[in-house]
């Protein structure tokens, strides 16, 4: 299968992020309300990639709630710069920033990761309950695991049904990241950027390179 052209990708990606409930409203001729979007940012290339994805979304995705690890010193500056530039096009754009404890450090052992992830959920669950986003968009930082699991729990409790979209990082060519392996079973849309991963994980959606 040939990768889609960049223009086609920009057109398809926002469609993948629109919940079916709002598509039904379009069919009934109603005006689509803004979609509350929770974005999980991560240190290093994760935040850069997720902001590239956000740059192709319309002003309908507002407010945008950014969540990142409390030890992440780079993401906040990148997000502020991105939103400042976005405000030049969409002056009524709204966003917020929240920090939660990091669920897993690089090279942290599996056993200790379970403990730190549960600790992170103590913060992410009430935060997700407060924000009640329509959509969650993430691309692999460990912080996204407790956030997405919290959203799944709220859906199971009948509090809020949230669409979860996971975009695996472009650097994951042969295997999924640890976050991807966990969230593969919980997401509504799981997007990969290499055809080999689509073959190994049939539930995933392959659109070619999108960042």
Domain boundaries, the chain: 32-206
Cα–Cα dist 71/77, whole Å: 13
Cα–Cα dist 42/76, whole Å: 10
H or E segment and range at residue 189: strand 189-192
Rg (CA), the chain: 17
Q: Which fold has domain 32-206?
A: Rossmann fold (3.40.50)
| DSSP single-letter state for residue 41 | -
Cis peptide bond N-terminal to 160, omega within 30: no
Q: Which tens digit of pLDDT belongs to each residue from 97-150?
A: 999 998 776 666 666 778 888 899 999 999 999 999 999 999 988 899 999 999
pLDDT (0 to 100) of residue 54: 93
pTM for this model (two decimals) = 0.82
């Amino acid at each position: 299968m040939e990768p889609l052209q960049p223009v086609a990708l920009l057109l398809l990606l926002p469609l993948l992020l629109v919940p079916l409930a709002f598509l039904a409203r379009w069919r009934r001729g109603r005006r689509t309300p803004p979609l509350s979007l929770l974005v999980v940012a991560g240190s290093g290339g994760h935040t850069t990639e997720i902001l590239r994805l956000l740059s192709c979304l319309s002003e309908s995705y507002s407010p945008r709630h950014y969540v990142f690890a409390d030890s992440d010193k780079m993401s906040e500056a990148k997000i502020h710069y991105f939103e400042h530039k976005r405000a030049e096009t969409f002056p009524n754009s709204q966003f917020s920033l929240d920090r939660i404890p990091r669920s897993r450090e690089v090279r942290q052992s599996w056993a200790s990761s379970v403990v730190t992830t549960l600790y992170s959920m103590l913060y992410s669950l009430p935060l997700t309950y407060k924000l009640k986003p329509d959509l969650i968009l993430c691309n692999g930082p460990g912080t996204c695991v407790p956030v997405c699991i919290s959203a799944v729990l709220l859906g199971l409790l009948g509090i809020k049904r949230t669409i979860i979209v996971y975009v695996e990082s472009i650097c994951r060519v042969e295997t999924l990241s640890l976050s991807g392996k966990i969230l593969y079973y919980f997401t509504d849309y799981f997007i990969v950027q290499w055809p080999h991963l689509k073959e190994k994980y049939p539930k995933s959606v392959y659109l070619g390179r999108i960042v």
